Protein backbone atom coordinates (compact mmCIF):
# COMPACT_ATOMS: atom_id res chain seq x y z
CA UNK A 1 0.00 0.00 0.00
CA UNK A 2 1.21 3.53 -0.79
CA UNK A 3 2.35 5.78 2.03
CA UNK A 4 -0.59 7.65 3.60
CA UNK A 5 -0.82 11.43 3.41
CA UNK A 6 -1.04 12.51 7.05
CA UNK A 7 -2.97 15.64 8.02
CA UNK A 8 -2.87 17.87 11.07
CA UNK A 9 -6.07 19.91 11.31
CA UNK A 10 -6.10 23.13 13.35
CA UNK A 11 -9.59 24.46 13.90
CA UNK A 12 -12.59 22.19 14.40
CA UNK A 13 -15.44 24.56 13.77
CA UNK A 14 -17.99 24.10 11.00
CA UNK A 15 -15.43 23.62 8.24
CA UNK A 16 -12.95 21.57 10.27
CA UNK A 17 -15.67 19.17 11.36
CA UNK A 18 -16.79 18.93 7.75
CA UNK A 19 -13.29 17.93 6.64
CA UNK A 20 -13.14 15.23 9.33
CA UNK A 21 -16.51 13.87 8.14
CA UNK A 22 -15.38 13.64 4.53
CA UNK A 23 -12.19 11.79 5.46
CA UNK A 24 -14.01 9.41 7.77
CA UNK A 25 -16.95 8.72 5.48
CA UNK A 26 -15.14 8.68 2.12
CA UNK A 27 -11.81 7.04 3.00
CA UNK A 28 -11.99 4.42 0.26
CA UNK A 29 -13.07 6.92 -2.39
CA UNK A 30 -10.25 9.32 -1.50
CA UNK A 31 -7.67 6.52 -1.67
CA UNK A 32 -9.00 5.38 -5.04
CA UNK A 33 -8.81 8.89 -6.48
CA UNK A 34 -5.31 9.67 -5.22
CA UNK A 35 -3.66 6.25 -5.12
CA UNK A 36 -2.87 6.60 -1.41
CA UNK A 37 -4.79 6.81 1.88
CA UNK A 38 -5.55 10.23 3.35
CA UNK A 39 -5.54 10.12 7.15
CA UNK A 40 -5.67 12.49 10.10
CA UNK A 41 -2.81 12.23 12.58
CA UNK A 42 -3.67 14.98 15.02
CA UNK A 43 -6.01 17.92 15.60
CA UNK A 44 -6.10 21.15 17.55
CA UNK A 45 -8.87 23.47 18.71
CA UNK A 46 -9.66 25.81 21.59
CA UNK A 47 -11.81 23.28 23.47
CA UNK A 48 -11.39 19.52 23.80
CA UNK A 49 -14.83 19.00 25.33
CA UNK A 50 -17.10 20.55 22.71
CA UNK A 51 -19.40 18.16 20.84
CA UNK A 52 -18.61 18.64 17.17
CA UNK A 53 -20.67 15.78 15.82
CA UNK A 54 -17.59 13.77 14.75
CA UNK A 55 -15.49 11.12 16.43
CA UNK A 56 -12.09 12.57 17.32
CA UNK A 57 -11.00 9.77 19.65
CA UNK A 58 -8.60 8.25 17.14
CA UNK A 59 -6.52 11.40 16.70
CA UNK A 60 -3.77 12.90 18.82
CA UNK A 61 -4.64 16.29 20.33
CA UNK A 62 -2.47 19.38 20.54
CA UNK A 63 -3.59 22.42 22.51
CA UNK A 64 -1.03 24.54 20.67
CA UNK A 65 -1.52 24.73 16.87
CA UNK A 66 2.19 25.51 16.42
CA UNK A 67 3.02 22.18 18.08
CA UNK A 68 0.54 20.49 15.75
CA UNK A 69 2.10 22.14 12.70
CA UNK A 70 5.54 20.77 13.52
CA UNK A 71 4.67 17.18 14.48
CA UNK A 72 6.74 14.48 12.78
CA UNK A 73 3.59 12.56 11.82
CA UNK A 74 2.02 15.48 9.94
CA UNK A 75 2.72 15.96 6.22
CA UNK A 76 0.11 18.64 5.53
CA UNK A 77 -0.97 21.31 8.00
CA UNK A 78 -4.65 22.21 7.45
CA UNK A 79 -5.28 25.67 8.93
CA UNK A 80 -8.96 26.36 9.58
CA UNK A 81 -8.73 28.70 12.58
CA UNK A 82 -9.07 32.03 10.79
CA UNK A 83 -7.68 35.44 11.67
CA UNK A 84 -5.12 37.48 9.79
CA UNK A 85 -2.50 37.17 12.52
CA UNK A 86 -2.13 35.36 15.84
CA UNK A 87 -2.14 31.55 16.07
CA UNK A 88 -3.12 31.00 12.44
CA UNK A 89 -0.18 32.94 11.04
CA UNK A 90 2.27 31.62 13.63
CA UNK A 91 1.28 28.00 12.99
CA UNK A 92 1.35 28.42 9.20
CA UNK A 93 4.85 29.88 9.33
CA UNK A 94 5.96 27.10 11.70
CA UNK A 95 4.58 24.45 9.36
CA UNK A 96 6.45 25.86 6.39
CA UNK A 97 9.65 26.19 8.41
CA UNK A 98 9.27 22.50 9.26
CA UNK A 99 8.86 21.56 5.60
CA UNK A 100 5.10 20.91 5.72
CA UNK A 101 2.66 21.76 2.96
CA UNK A 102 -0.25 23.99 4.02
CA UNK A 103 -3.93 24.01 3.08
CA UNK A 104 -5.89 26.95 4.45
CA UNK A 105 -9.31 28.59 4.24
CA UNK A 106 -7.93 31.79 5.72
CA UNK A 107 -8.61 34.64 3.30
CA UNK A 108 -7.68 37.36 5.79
CA UNK A 109 -4.23 35.93 6.53
CA UNK A 110 -3.38 35.60 2.84
CA UNK A 111 -4.84 38.99 1.93
CA UNK A 112 -2.53 40.65 4.46
CA UNK A 113 0.52 38.35 4.39
CA UNK A 114 0.16 36.34 1.18
CA UNK A 115 3.35 37.51 -0.50
CA UNK A 116 5.56 36.72 2.48
CA UNK A 117 3.88 33.35 3.02
CA UNK A 118 4.26 32.45 -0.67
CA UNK A 119 7.96 33.37 -0.60
CA UNK A 120 8.53 31.30 2.54
CA UNK A 121 6.72 28.31 1.05
CA UNK A 122 8.72 28.36 -2.17
CA UNK A 123 12.02 28.77 -0.33
CA UNK A 124 11.14 25.67 1.71
CA UNK A 125 9.95 23.67 -1.29
CA UNK A 126 6.40 23.60 0.09
CA UNK A 127 3.03 24.54 -1.33
CA UNK A 128 0.26 26.68 0.15
CA UNK A 129 -3.19 26.06 -1.30
CA UNK A 130 -6.33 28.06 -0.47
CA UNK A 131 -9.27 27.03 -2.63
CA UNK A 132 -11.57 27.20 0.40
CA UNK A 133 -10.62 30.82 1.11
CA UNK A 134 -12.54 32.18 -1.89
CA UNK A 135 -16.19 31.55 -2.81
CA UNK A 136 -16.75 28.42 -0.72
CA UNK A 137 -17.28 25.37 -2.90
CA UNK A 138 -16.67 27.15 -6.23
CA UNK A 139 -13.30 25.97 -7.65
CA UNK A 140 -12.28 29.45 -8.80
CA UNK A 141 -8.67 29.34 -7.56
CA UNK A 142 -8.06 26.12 -9.49
CA UNK A 143 -9.80 27.62 -12.52
CA UNK A 144 -7.39 30.56 -12.56
CA UNK A 145 -4.18 28.76 -11.63
CA UNK A 146 -4.76 25.72 -13.83
CA UNK A 147 -7.75 25.66 -16.16
CA UNK A 148 -7.25 29.19 -17.50
CA UNK A 149 -3.47 29.35 -17.13
CA UNK A 150 -3.08 29.81 -20.89
CA UNK A 151 -5.18 32.98 -20.90
CA UNK A 152 -4.39 36.60 -20.39
CA UNK A 153 -7.11 37.40 -17.85
CA UNK A 154 -8.83 40.68 -18.66
CA UNK A 155 -11.38 40.97 -15.86
CA UNK A 156 -12.49 39.23 -12.66
CA UNK A 157 -15.95 40.04 -11.38
CA UNK A 158 -18.38 38.53 -8.95
CA UNK A 159 -20.60 38.34 -5.92
CA UNK A 160 -18.34 36.86 -3.24
CA UNK A 161 -20.16 37.33 0.06
CA UNK A 162 -23.24 35.21 0.57
CA UNK A 163 -24.41 37.15 3.62
CA UNK A 164 -24.62 40.41 1.71
CA UNK A 165 -26.38 38.70 -1.18
CA UNK A 166 -28.83 37.13 1.27
CA UNK A 167 -29.59 40.51 2.86
CA UNK A 168 -30.12 42.30 -0.45
CA UNK A 169 -32.29 39.59 -2.01
CA UNK A 170 -34.27 39.15 1.20
CA UNK A 171 -34.95 42.90 1.33
CA UNK A 172 -36.25 42.79 -2.23
CA UNK A 173 -38.30 39.60 -2.00
CA UNK A 174 -39.88 40.37 1.39
CA UNK A 175 -40.05 44.15 1.10
CA UNK A 176 -38.18 44.51 4.39
CA UNK A 177 -35.85 47.33 5.48
CA UNK A 178 -32.10 46.78 5.85
CA UNK A 179 -32.01 46.92 9.66
CA UNK A 180 -34.68 44.23 10.00
CA UNK A 181 -32.99 41.84 7.56
CA UNK A 182 -29.61 42.52 9.17
CA UNK A 183 -30.95 41.36 12.54
CA UNK A 184 -32.57 38.36 10.88
CA UNK A 185 -29.22 37.41 9.35
CA UNK A 186 -27.56 37.79 12.73
CA UNK A 187 -30.15 35.52 14.38
CA UNK A 188 -29.60 32.88 11.69
CA UNK A 189 -25.85 32.92 12.34
CA UNK A 190 -25.00 34.29 8.88
CA UNK A 191 -22.93 37.22 10.15
CA UNK A 192 -19.33 37.14 11.32
CA UNK A 193 -18.63 37.98 14.97
CA UNK A 194 -17.68 41.39 13.61
CA UNK A 195 -20.57 42.02 11.18
CA UNK A 196 -18.64 44.74 9.36
CA UNK A 197 -16.42 42.04 7.87
CA UNK A 198 -19.51 40.99 5.92
CA UNK A 199 -21.69 44.06 5.38
CA UNK A 200 -18.70 46.40 5.13
CA UNK A 201 -17.31 44.45 2.17
CA UNK A 202 -14.07 43.48 3.95
CA UNK A 203 -14.54 39.71 3.67
CA UNK A 204 -15.36 39.96 -0.02
CA UNK A 205 -12.49 42.42 -0.54
CA UNK A 206 -10.05 39.88 0.90
CA UNK A 207 -11.28 37.35 -1.66
CA UNK A 208 -11.07 39.78 -4.56
CA UNK A 209 -7.47 40.70 -3.70
CA UNK A 210 -6.47 37.01 -3.79
CA UNK A 211 -8.11 36.42 -7.16
CA UNK A 212 -6.50 39.59 -8.53
CA UNK A 213 -3.06 38.35 -7.52
CA UNK A 214 -3.55 35.13 -9.49
CA UNK A 215 -5.31 36.70 -12.44
CA UNK A 216 -2.85 39.53 -13.05
CA UNK A 217 0.43 38.18 -11.69
CA UNK A 218 0.43 40.75 -8.90
CA UNK A 219 1.48 40.81 -5.29
CA UNK A 220 -1.60 40.71 -3.09
CA UNK A 221 -2.75 44.26 -2.36
CA UNK A 222 -5.80 44.28 -0.13
CA UNK A 223 -5.09 47.90 0.81
CA UNK A 224 -5.60 48.78 -2.85
CA UNK A 225 -9.18 47.47 -2.88
CA UNK A 226 -11.80 50.22 -2.95
CA UNK A 227 -14.34 49.12 -0.33
CA UNK A 228 -17.91 50.21 0.23
CA UNK A 229 -20.45 48.19 2.18
CA UNK A 230 -24.21 47.80 1.87
CA UNK A 231 -25.28 49.63 5.03
CA UNK A 232 -26.61 52.65 3.12
CA UNK A 233 -28.86 50.62 0.83
CA UNK A 234 -32.53 51.19 1.62
CA UNK A 235 -35.63 49.31 0.59
CA UNK A 236 -36.45 52.30 -1.64
CA UNK A 237 -33.14 51.83 -3.46
CA UNK A 238 -34.05 48.18 -3.98
CA UNK A 239 -37.49 49.11 -5.34
CA UNK A 240 -36.27 51.90 -7.58
CA UNK A 241 -33.56 49.66 -9.04
CA UNK A 242 -36.11 46.91 -9.71
CA UNK A 243 -38.42 49.41 -11.38
CA UNK A 244 -35.61 50.24 -13.83
CA UNK A 245 -34.82 46.58 -14.53
CA UNK A 246 -31.85 46.27 -12.16
CA UNK A 247 -30.93 44.56 -8.91
CA UNK A 248 -28.40 45.76 -6.36
CA UNK A 249 -25.43 43.49 -5.63
CA UNK A 250 -22.22 43.86 -3.64
CA UNK A 251 -20.04 43.40 -6.70
CA UNK A 252 -16.30 42.86 -6.90
CA UNK A 253 -14.50 43.95 -10.05
CA UNK A 254 -10.77 43.74 -10.78
CA UNK A 255 -8.95 44.57 -13.99
CA UNK A 256 -5.48 45.64 -15.04
CA UNK A 257 -5.22 48.90 -17.00
CA UNK A 258 -2.44 51.17 -18.14
CA UNK A 259 -2.98 53.18 -14.96
CA UNK A 260 -2.57 50.22 -12.61
CA UNK A 261 -4.67 47.54 -10.94
CA UNK A 262 -8.30 48.43 -10.36
CA UNK A 263 -9.95 46.54 -7.51
CA UNK A 264 -13.32 47.57 -6.14
CA UNK A 265 -15.87 45.84 -3.94
CA UNK A 266 -18.91 48.11 -3.94
CA UNK A 267 -22.70 47.95 -4.27
CA UNK A 268 -23.68 48.22 -7.94
CA UNK A 269 -26.79 47.98 -10.07
CA UNK A 270 -26.67 45.02 -12.45
CA UNK A 271 -29.26 44.01 -15.08
CA UNK A 272 -31.96 41.93 -13.40
CA UNK A 273 -31.89 39.33 -16.18
CA UNK A 274 -28.11 38.88 -16.17
CA UNK A 275 -26.56 35.84 -14.43
CA UNK A 276 -25.40 38.08 -11.57
CA UNK A 277 -28.79 39.76 -11.38
CA UNK A 278 -30.56 36.44 -10.99
CA UNK A 279 -28.30 35.28 -8.15
CA UNK A 280 -30.38 34.62 -5.03
CA UNK A 281 -29.71 34.15 -1.33
CA UNK A 282 -26.30 33.06 -0.08
CA UNK A 283 -25.06 31.82 -3.45
CA UNK A 284 -21.81 33.19 -4.90
CA UNK A 285 -20.89 33.78 -8.53
CA UNK A 286 -17.53 34.58 -10.09
CA UNK A 287 -17.13 35.72 -13.69
CA UNK A 288 -13.71 35.29 -15.30
CA UNK A 289 -12.83 36.81 -18.66
CA UNK A 290 -9.79 35.72 -20.70
CA UNK A 291 -8.44 36.65 -24.10
CA UNK A 292 -8.74 33.10 -25.49
CA UNK A 293 -11.61 31.56 -23.52
CA UNK A 294 -13.94 34.56 -23.43
CA UNK A 295 -16.23 34.65 -20.41
CA UNK A 296 -16.54 31.85 -17.84
CA UNK A 297 -19.27 31.94 -15.18
CA UNK A 298 -18.85 29.90 -11.98
CA UNK A 299 -21.80 29.67 -9.59
CA UNK A 300 -22.30 27.78 -6.36
CA UNK A 301 -22.54 27.73 -2.59
CA UNK A 302 -20.25 30.39 -1.16
CA UNK A 303 -20.07 29.08 2.41
CA UNK A 304 -21.22 26.31 4.72
CA UNK A 305 -19.79 23.10 6.06
CA UNK A 306 -20.10 20.90 2.99
CA UNK A 307 -19.05 23.31 0.23
CA UNK A 308 -16.09 24.76 2.12
CA UNK A 309 -14.88 21.37 3.36
CA UNK A 310 -15.16 20.16 -0.24
CA UNK A 311 -12.82 22.95 -1.31
CA UNK A 312 -10.34 22.09 1.46
CA UNK A 313 -10.31 18.47 0.31
CA UNK A 314 -9.71 19.45 -3.31
CA UNK A 315 -6.39 20.97 -2.22
CA UNK A 316 -5.55 18.03 0.03
CA UNK A 317 -6.19 15.57 -2.81
CA UNK A 318 -4.03 17.56 -5.22
CA UNK A 319 -1.14 17.30 -2.78
CA UNK A 320 -1.83 13.58 -2.34
CA UNK A 321 -1.64 13.18 -6.12
CA UNK A 322 1.66 15.05 -6.29
CA UNK A 323 0.20 18.13 -7.99
CA UNK A 324 2.22 21.09 -6.79
CA UNK A 325 1.24 24.58 -7.89
CA UNK A 326 2.81 27.80 -6.61
CA UNK A 327 0.62 29.81 -4.25
CA UNK A 328 -0.54 32.43 -6.74
CA UNK A 329 0.02 30.47 -9.94
CA UNK A 330 3.56 31.65 -10.66
CA UNK A 331 6.79 32.00 -8.65
CA UNK A 332 6.38 34.57 -5.89
CA UNK A 333 9.52 36.42 -6.99
CA UNK A 334 7.90 37.14 -10.37
CA UNK A 335 4.73 38.69 -8.94
CA UNK A 336 4.69 42.39 -9.73
CA UNK A 337 4.05 45.14 -7.22
CA UNK A 338 1.38 46.91 -9.27
CA UNK A 339 0.21 50.32 -8.19
CA UNK A 340 -3.49 50.59 -7.33
CA UNK A 341 -5.68 52.57 -9.68
CA UNK A 342 -9.18 53.89 -9.52
CA UNK A 343 -11.67 52.93 -12.22
CA UNK A 344 -11.62 55.53 -14.98
CA UNK A 345 -14.08 53.92 -17.41
CA UNK A 346 -17.25 55.99 -17.56
CA UNK A 347 -20.54 54.43 -16.50
CA UNK A 348 -24.03 55.62 -15.62
CA UNK A 349 -24.72 56.07 -11.92
CA UNK A 350 -27.72 55.81 -9.67
CA UNK A 351 -27.68 58.83 -7.34
CA UNK A 352 -30.09 59.24 -4.42
CA UNK A 353 -30.20 62.14 -2.01
CA UNK A 354 -32.53 63.91 0.41
CA UNK A 355 -33.22 67.58 -0.32
CA UNK A 356 -34.53 70.29 1.93
CA UNK A 357 -38.12 70.73 0.76
CA UNK A 358 -38.00 74.36 -0.35
CA UNK A 359 -38.04 76.26 -3.66
CA UNK A 360 -34.79 76.34 -5.62
CA UNK A 361 -33.29 73.22 -4.05
CA UNK A 362 -33.52 71.18 -7.24
CA UNK A 363 -32.03 73.97 -9.31
CA UNK A 364 -28.97 74.10 -7.03
CA UNK A 365 -28.46 70.36 -7.39
CA UNK A 366 -28.81 70.48 -11.17
CA UNK A 367 -26.24 73.29 -11.35
CA UNK A 368 -23.68 71.38 -9.28
CA UNK A 369 -24.11 68.27 -11.44
CA UNK A 370 -23.82 70.31 -14.63
CA UNK A 371 -20.73 72.16 -13.38
CA UNK A 372 -19.14 68.74 -12.73
CA UNK A 373 -19.85 67.64 -16.29
CA UNK A 374 -22.61 65.23 -15.29
CA UNK A 375 -25.75 65.08 -17.38
CA UNK A 376 -29.02 63.64 -16.09
CA UNK A 377 -30.67 60.76 -17.92
CA UNK A 378 -33.74 60.63 -15.68
CA UNK A 379 -34.96 62.03 -12.40
CA UNK A 380 -37.65 61.02 -9.96
CA UNK A 381 -38.98 62.68 -6.82
CA UNK A 382 -41.23 60.36 -4.88
CA UNK A 383 -43.77 60.92 -2.11
CA UNK A 384 -42.69 61.85 1.39
CA UNK A 385 -44.08 62.79 4.79
CA UNK A 386 -40.93 64.38 6.15
CA UNK A 387 -39.37 67.83 5.85
CA UNK A 388 -36.86 66.41 3.38
CA UNK A 389 -37.69 65.21 -0.12
CA UNK A 390 -36.05 62.02 -1.46
CA UNK A 391 -34.83 62.50 -5.03
CA UNK A 392 -33.37 59.96 -7.42
CA UNK A 393 -31.19 60.68 -10.44
CA UNK A 394 -29.79 58.33 -13.06
CA UNK A 395 -26.88 59.96 -14.83
CA UNK A 396 -25.54 59.46 -18.29
CA UNK A 397 -22.08 57.90 -18.40
CA UNK A 398 -19.63 59.71 -16.15
CA UNK A 399 -16.51 58.97 -14.14
CA UNK A 400 -16.35 58.35 -10.42
CA UNK A 401 -13.96 61.30 -10.07
CA UNK A 402 -16.53 63.61 -11.64
CA UNK A 403 -19.23 62.19 -9.40
CA UNK A 404 -17.11 62.67 -6.28
CA UNK A 405 -16.46 66.25 -7.33
CA UNK A 406 -20.21 66.75 -7.63
CA UNK A 407 -20.91 65.13 -4.25
CA UNK A 408 -18.44 67.52 -2.62
CA UNK A 409 -20.20 70.42 -4.28
CA UNK A 410 -23.63 69.17 -3.22
CA UNK A 411 -22.54 69.21 0.42
CA UNK A 412 -21.81 72.92 0.06
CA UNK A 413 -25.23 73.88 -1.34
CA UNK A 414 -27.05 73.74 1.98
CA UNK A 415 -29.97 71.88 0.41
CA UNK A 416 -28.72 68.28 0.60
CA UNK A 417 -29.34 66.48 3.90
CA UNK A 418 -26.92 63.68 4.77
CA UNK A 419 -24.63 61.87 2.34
CA UNK A 420 -25.91 61.01 -1.14
CA UNK A 421 -25.88 57.34 -2.15
CA UNK A 422 -24.08 56.77 -5.46
CA UNK A 423 -24.15 53.33 -7.10
CA UNK A 424 -22.44 52.45 -10.35
CA UNK A 425 -24.64 50.81 -12.99
CA UNK A 426 -22.44 48.00 -14.24
CA UNK A 427 -22.51 46.75 -17.81
CA UNK A 428 -22.13 42.95 -17.91
- In angstroms, the Cα distances linking 117 to 4, 38, 101, 222 are 26, 25, 12, 15
The pair phi, psi for residue 309, each rounded to 5°, is -60, -35
Cβ atoms of 309 and 19 within 8 Å: the answer is: yes
| Cα–Cα nearest to 76, from 358, 319, 263, 392 | 319
Check residue 228 and give its pLDDT.
96
| Cα–Cα nearest to 350, from 253, 234, 263, 262 | 234
What letter would DSSP give residue 259?
A: T
Neighbours of 81 (CB within 10 A): 24
Check residue 140 and give its pLDDT.
97
Check residue 111 and give its pLDDT.
98
Check residue 11 and give its pLDDT.
96
Q: Which of 89, 100, 207, 249 is catalytic?
A: 207
Check residue 282 and give its pLDDT.
86
- Distance separating alpha carbons of residues 272 and 245, to the nearest angstrom: 6
For each of the domains in the chain, give its residue range(s) and CATH number, in order of start: 5-104 (3.40.50.720), 141-302+333-341 (3.30.360.10), 349-425 (3.30.70.260)
pLDDT tens sequence for the chain (428 residues):
589 999 999 999 999 999 999 999 999 999 999 999 999 999 999 988 888 889 999 999 999 999 999 999 999 999 999 999 999 999 999 999 999 999 999 999 999 999 999 999 999 999 999 999 999 899 999 999 999 999 999 999 999 999 999 999 999 999 999 999 999 998 888 888 899 999 999 999 999 999 999 999 999 999 999 999 999 999 999 999 999 999 999 999 999 999 999 999 999 999 999 999 999 988 999 999 999 999 999 999 988 889 999 999 999 999 999 999 999 999 999 999 999 998 888 999 999 999 988 888 889 999 999 999 999 999 888 766 678 888 999 999 999 999 999 999 999 999 999 899 999 999 87
Residue 207 appears among annotated catalytic residues: yes
What letter would DSSP give residue 146?
A: I
Amino acid sequence: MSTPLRLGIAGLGTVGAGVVKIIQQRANLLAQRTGRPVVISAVSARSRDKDRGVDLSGFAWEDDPVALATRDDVDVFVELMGGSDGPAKAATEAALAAGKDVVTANKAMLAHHGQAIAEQAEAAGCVVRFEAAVAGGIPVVKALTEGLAGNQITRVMGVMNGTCNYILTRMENAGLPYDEVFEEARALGYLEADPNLDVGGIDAGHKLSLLSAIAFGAQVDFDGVELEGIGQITIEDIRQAADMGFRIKLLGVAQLTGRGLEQRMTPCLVPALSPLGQLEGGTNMVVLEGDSVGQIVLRGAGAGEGPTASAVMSDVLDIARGIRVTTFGQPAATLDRIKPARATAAAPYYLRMALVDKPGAMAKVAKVLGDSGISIDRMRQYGHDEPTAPVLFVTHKTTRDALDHAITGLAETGVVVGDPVALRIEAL
